[in-house]
Amino acid sequence: MGFEPLENPYWEKGLLVAGLDEAGRGPLAGPVVVACVVLKPFTRPFLTSDSKKYSPAKREELFEKIIENALAVTVSFATVESIEEKNVYRATQRAFENALSLLPVKVSAVFTDYMPLKGLSIPCHSLPKGDARVFSIATASIVAKVIRDRLMVAYSKRYPQYGFEKHKGYPTKEHLKALKTYGVSPIHRKNYSPIKQILNQKRNKNLF
């Protein structure tokens, strides 16, 4: 299934659009990464689907091609602190808004993977499964995923006991076992259920 040409009505008028997507809302650790990509009008799709369908090596290859071909790429982060303060949805939404605000070019519409952005002076098309439907969103999906994976590999060198380079912070059996063995690290999201349970168990033990 190919991408829907939803950017075309804008491109036909000589207008630019931005595609935005995130990576990392599900993991127990690390930030959510949001990418915003502005493509040259009528860029021919060189992806066939969203980032989840590609191997890490292929995503790296596509990442370089996106950076080479895009008019603009920005990245923003929903930090662990902001996730704990606001909740992951609100923190991610704020990162979407920030990534958009960092663009060095003017866009006339925004396409997101099911993340509504309010208060914009331009249309925001928030589409379910947008990363598989709109090429601009799919490219943002690749950028966000690659940058987040690289970040979690970097964190694995600081906290090698958790195996972040393998599971990227997702709640795998290996990750949950490491949490029980080594406790909670500074980059774990303390308002996520498994982390809460571990912290509560530790507090209860300290009471006796």
132-183 pLDDT tens trace: 999 999 999 999 999 999 999 999 999 999 999 999 999 999 999 999 999 9
CA–CA distance, 38 with 56 (Å, rounded to integer): 23
> Based on the number of CB atoms within 10 Å of its own CB, is 169 exposed (0-12), middle (13-18) or buried (19 or more)?
buried
Is residue 189 scored above 90 in pLDDT?
yes
Is residue 6 scored above 70 in pLDDT?
yes
User: pLDDT value at position 204?
Assistant: 66
User: pLDDT value at position 205?
Assistant: 66
Domain segments of the chain as ranges: 8-157, 158-206
User: pLDDT value at position 50?
Assistant: 73
The percent of residues in the chain predicted with pLDDT above 70, rounded, is 97
Q: Name the one residue in this structure whose structure tokens are 């943002």.
A: 140
The percent of residues in the chain predicted with pLDDT above 90, rounded, is 92
Rg of the chain on CA atoms, in Å: 19
CATH ID of 8-157, from 3.90.1150.10, 3.30.70.1560, 3.30.420.10, 3.90.650.10: 3.30.420.10
Is residue 121 scored above 80 in pLDDT?
yes
Query: What global pTM score does this model have?
Result: 0.96
User: pLDDT value at position 207?
Assistant: 44
CA–CA distance, 114 with 130 (Å, rounded to integer): 7
Residue 6 CA: distances (Å) to CA of 95, 102, 106, 205: 24, 23, 18, 56
The answer to whether 32 and 92 are in contact (CB under 8 A) is yes
For the ranges 1-15, 38-52, 72-86, 191-205, the lowest mean pLDDT is seen at 191-205
CA–CA distance, 88 with 109 (Å, rounded to integer): 25
The answer to whether 28 and 197 are in contact (CB under 8 A) is no
Is residue 1 scored above 90 in pLDDT?
no
User: pLDDT value at position 208?
Assistant: 44
Is residue 206 scored above 90 in pLDDT?
no
Q: Determine the residue type at 42.
A: F
Residue 17 CA to its chain's centroid (Å): 19
Tokens read off for 199? 């912290």
Strands in 17-23's sheet, in edge-to-edge order, are 72-78, 32-38, 17-23, 109-113, 124-127
Q: Could you read off the pLDDT of 31-40 as tens digits, one per residue?
A: 999 999 999 9
* Closest CA relative to residue 144, chosen from 95, 86, 194: 95
User: pLDDT value at position 92?
Assistant: 98
The answer to whether 51 and 131 are in contact (CB under 8 A) is yes
Rounded mean pLDDT, 125-131: 97
